[in-house]
Chains A and B, each alone.
Chain A
Amino acid sequence: MPEIKLKHVVSFSSEDKVHKSENLLNPETYRKWKCATPGEKNASVILQFEKATKIHSIDIGNESSAFVEVLVGRSSDSVNDYKVLLVASSFMSPIESRNEQHSNRVRMFGPEKLAQNLKEEKWDCVQVVCTQPFNKNITYGLSFIKFLSPPEKIAERPVEPESKTTTAKLGAFKIKYNDDEEED
């Protein structure tokens, strides 16, 4: 699953003087993006891909946000038309947020966690929206975000059954390979 290259930051709601939004472009560094002041209603950033790509999965490293949401669009769209690819997902509970515990949780969102109707389309822009309603005294954002495109397709040929008990599809029928020993 190749990592999708991020070209630049299109826009952001706010950024810290040190923890700038550009930090998200380079996954090698462990530098983070944080909003400018505590208590902001939400913190968002729009990132531009190098080219339009299908998104297969997303890895998110948190930085004190309670919820993170990811929307997708194309350069020609206005931001309001962006569609929700990953619904607002929880990274910190109210208690953790208040106590500033576990503020760097990492979550990986596979294809089953993403909006099914958007997975097959190609996108070149993403908006990431972070919120932290439980603690108004901290700044928050992301430590990193990684987008992955679908795995390269291997030449299509029937897959050999790997184990004795498995199924294969033949036209409309499912073939079940039974464990021989159980048969008699």
Chain B
Amino acid sequence: MTSKRKATDSQGPNSDFCDFLSELADYERNVNRNIHKYNAYRTAASSLSKHPVRIKSGKEARELKGVGEKIADKIDEFISSGKLRKLEEIRKDDTSQAITLLTKISGIGPAAAQKLVKEGIMNIEDLKKNTEKLNHHQKIGLKYFEDFEKKIPREEMEVLEKKIIELCKQADKDYLVTICGSYRRGLKESGDIDVLVTHPSYSSTDPKKPKLLKEIIEKMEKAQFVKETLSLGDAKFMGVCCLQDDYPFRRIDIRIFPNDQYFCATLYFTGSNLFNQQMRSHAIEKGFTLNEYCIRPIGSRGNPGESLPVSSEKEIFEYIDYPYKEPHERNI
């Protein structure tokens, strides 16, 4: 979910269309800060990637979900000329190139990237000379930039999962641990490690229990598994871990949720983003509102009701009468 590089596994007969749409999407998000255009391009890229046969014209593409007139025009242009003027211009533009590059660093978002570029910082070398402009998170993002760019193969994720669960259970055997994100959706590689934790003693009606998370982190530091801390709050840890020598350093996020919110959280953090969007809009059609904490019925005046009891992901699907999807079926 928090990965900088969404696994855009461009395969299938329309992968080149998907690639340029993804590039346009990133441009809209990082340079223009237009999240709606970003979402529009992402949706179109997603339907094209699922389409089983090669699209021959923009008109044909318009039949697909999320493809409108303008995207169809771009597909036509790409088919006839093999390239896209808009994309060529973006690629030529130093500023947008620099912003795109800087946002790849953990801790640097579009806003920070734009500020840095305005100050004349255009590449990694510039950044390394100006580390005083960076906060702690960004410095570490820069330090491990090459490693963080590397995808985590599923085999390594499996070993990481065992290790993480083992360390949590050492802290307290009652912890429930789920590695979410693309790994849970069964993908071959992941961008980072997204861990969700809960404890049977912790409910949302209780006061916050920061100790629950801190105990896990202490255990992981002692075991030399967690190497750096980017941030540690009551409910969320962001940091860097490493399986053992010779392995790259990996970004890891660990969040703790009360047990009654745990399944809404695992659903949300398993994704994909588009799956979540579709499921949430289906929920609204059925008169429910769904977020990473809870599902609530919508009342007669459009106001959300009380949080409904949830003790499995399946129950959330049942509330909104949505056919249950296993995590590996949520890759849209």
Query: Which A residues fall within an 8 A CB radius of B?
Result: 42, 44, 66-67, 69, 71, 82, 84, 87-90, 93-95, 129, 131, 133-134
Contacts and interface: CB of A to CB of B under 8 A. Distances in A.
A93 B300 contact: no
B66 interface: no
Given A129-B299, A131-B287, A134-B321, 12 more contacts: A67-B297, A69-B299, A87-B303, A87-B306, A89-B305, A90-B297, A93-B315, A94-B315, A94-B318, A94-B319, A131-B297, A133-B287
A89 B304 CA distance: 10
Nearest to B286: A133
A90 B287 contact: no
B308 interface: yes
A136 B76 CA distance: 48
B309 interface: yes
A88 B289 CA distance: 12
12 contacts: A82-B301, A87-B304, A87-B305, A87-B306, A88-B297, A88-B299, A88-B306, A89-B306, A90-B306, A94-B321, A131-B297, A133-B287
- Closest 8 A-B residue pairs measured CB to CB? A88-B305, A88-B299, A87-B305, A88-B297, A94-B318, A129-B300, A69-B299, A89-B306
Contacts of A88: 296-300, 304-306
Chain A interface mostly: strand
B306 A44 contact: no
Contacts of A131: 287, 297
Q: Which residue of B286, B305, B318, B321 has the most chain A CB atoms within 10 A of its CB atom?
A: B305
Given A129-B299, A131-B297, A69 B305 contact: yes
Contacts of B321: 94, 133-134
Contacts of A89: 305-306
Contacts of A87: 296, 299, 303-306
